[in-house]
Amino acid sequence: MSLSPVRLFVLNGANTNLYGLDPTGPYGALTLEDIAEDCRARAKVLGGTVDFRQSNHEGVLVDWIQEARTAADGIVINAGSLSYTSIALLDALSAVKRPTFQVHVSNVFTREPFRHHAPLAAAVTGCIIGLGSSGYGVAVEALIAHIRRR
């Protein structure tokens, strides 16, 4: 029996394009392209595909979430700093109803208090927090497993 490929969108928000610039900072040495390559490789092993995207613009992320309604089986999202402020992303994720895992590269609960509140968590299937850039791969693997179980 052959399983159809699981199609994932991995969406990245504000300032995630700067990953890797400060290897001693909370986001580590890997660039977003390094992370994209890892996500694609992990998904391929599990019979999935990854469409990896980044934008600093909230409306673009909303458009991509809405596109996922028909073009993806699930979403991994690291909205960057928009994770703490965007009701538009929350509403889009709630409306689209795709299984979604949210990734926070750093442990937001050891950082500034404003990061302790994450509105998007109300609309996602699960959250991966504080595993560094490897959290993306964990999210991809967990999301594919979740989709296959449904």
Q: Which domain holds residue 42?
A: 6-149
In a domain, 27, yes or no: yes
The answer as to whether 51 is a domain residue is yes
Query: Is 116 marked active-site?
Result: no
List, in order, residues 6 or more apart from 73 with CB less than 8 Å away: 6, 7, 8, 98, 99, 147
C-alpha closest to that of 75 among 59, 55, 53: 53
Work out how many domains the chain is built from and give that number.
1
Check which CATH number belongs to the domain holding 37 and give it. 3.40.50.9100
Whether 27 is a known active-site residue: answer yes
Residue 136 lies in a domain: yes
Active-site pick, 27, 84, 136, 146: 27
**Which listed residue (104, 116, 117, 136) is catalytic?**
104
How many helices, marked H, and strands, marked E, lie in the chain? 4, 5
Q: State the DSSP string of 94-134.
A: HHH---EEEEESS-GGGS-GGGG--GGGGG-SEEEESSTTH
> What is the pTM assigned to this prediction?
0.92
* pLDDT at residue 28, rounded to an integer: 78
pLDDT tens for the 150 residues of the chain, in order: 457 899 999 999 999 999 998 887 777 789 999 999 999 999 999 999 999 999 999 999 999 999 999 999 999 999 988 987 899 999 999 999 999 999 988 766 556 565 556 788 899 999 998 888 999 999 999 999 999 998
Q: Which residue ranges make up the annotated binding site for substrate?
A: 78, 91, 105-106, 115
